[in-house]
A and B are shown apart, each in its own frame.
Chain A
């Protein structure tokens, strides 16, 4: 079979279907992963001893467990205690937990880096602690956390491929199916890889634009090495 025919008539259409699933996985996971990260970081930094401890333990457990094992637990394990999730839902929940735990580390670092005076000044104006965190501390912390958060978003794009291991036929899975059917492996997975590279590169560019748009003079980003 002609290579061009294979790539354009067979592979790419199949990959497009997979890509849609990959994008759905990301779109459903990323916002909740960010929200979870903000919640966990806030709980850990400003919560009482119990909440703070719980948030810390959550992060420790999630970071210590391979994501693939977490997906197995959600998809194959939970039914044994009466909770059955679709493969897609299990994947999204797994990605949210993982993304949220890692995000929280960057956000917490950024929260710590916000100077004490900001909280003091906000409270002196009559803001409650919660108002001060929401209006003053968090907006600054999130700006500083952008490089780290964008790294985690890129990881999310790449690790969304693990959903295939619990039967979600996303981009990698679509590629695998085609490769197995036609016994064309190297080319197929190179093309799959290129699609991921395109996604990652678009994200990197978009993040740079975002970072410039929300940049504030004098608030330099913390020097977390990009990517």
Chain B
């Protein structure tokens, strides 16, 4: 049986696998921003205990292999909390997200710290509160500076999402190995999967770089992190 007809026969599964992969990535990136940004603010502006707790969190989630984190949450923590029925997809997305938050918080932190002190002083001199100054002066600048670094989280997240294979999430790699075990056609199917991953990877990056250009401000150096 030739490769093309296999791919066509299995296309509904492949498409579902791609959707699951992208779903994992998008949800995890979302969780990463929602948690990573407050964590970054906490690390820059927070009290000592707050900084300490966030530091431990970051150290833990960046120090463990994604595979071990997935095993820990899938076999250990979720069932331990009585959440044994939560689907693998959700566990995968949550773990990728929690880990992504640790990485993203450091990107945001670097960006916030790169904003010159004069910005805060100027904002306060206008009578803004500290939190208003952060929200309306510091963050809009910091987010633009963070974007190029943040964009790189996308390919990392995409390739990491494949490890969710280990807990049985029906993402693209899982679908691929299922096709291989059913058809006994190995190399061409694996290579086709690699091509799909590469397209998703660089296609997504292109979109993100387009976004970077759209929010560019003249004379405001990006990549200054």
Contacts and interface: CB of A to CB of B under 8 A. Distances in A.
B158 to A, nearest CB: 8
Contacts of B187: 73, 77-78, 80-81
Contacts of B202: 60, 64
Interface of A: 60-61, 63-70, 72-73, 76-81, 158-162, 164-165, 172, 175-176, 179, 185-190, 192-193, 196-197, 200-201, 223, 225, 227
B13 to A, nearest CB: 16
Contacts of B198: 60-61, 64-65
Interface centre among B66, B186, B197 (most CB of A within 10 A): B186
Contacts, number: 132
A29 to B, nearest CB: 15
B191 interface: yes
Contacts of A65: 159, 194, 197-198
**Which of under 10, 10 to 19, 20 to 34, or 35 or more describes the interface residues of B?**
35 or more
9 contacts: A65-B197, A69-B193, A73-B190, A78-B187, A162-B65, A185-B75, A189-B72, A225-B106, A227-B106
Nearest to A173: B67
Contact of A158 (B64, B110, B166, B193): B64
Given A66-B197, A69-B197, A81-B187, A197 B59 contact: yes
B68 A64 contact: no
Nearest to A225: B110
Nearest to B66: A158
Q: Is the interface of B mostly helix, strand, loop or mixed?
A: helix
A196 B71 contact: no
A109 to B, nearest CB: 12
A76 B186 contact: yes
A212 B125 CA distance: 42
Contacts of A197: 59-60, 63-64
B162 A179 contact: no
B163 A192 contact: no
B151 interface: no
Nearest first, the 10 A-B pairs at minimum CB distance are: A186-B76, A66-B162, A64-B198, A185-B76, A189-B72, A185-B75, A161-B65, A158-B65, A66-B159, A197-B63
B222 interface: no
Interface stretch (B47-55, B131-139, B172-180): B172-180
Contacts of B107: 225
Given A161-B65, A185-B79, A67 B159 contact: yes
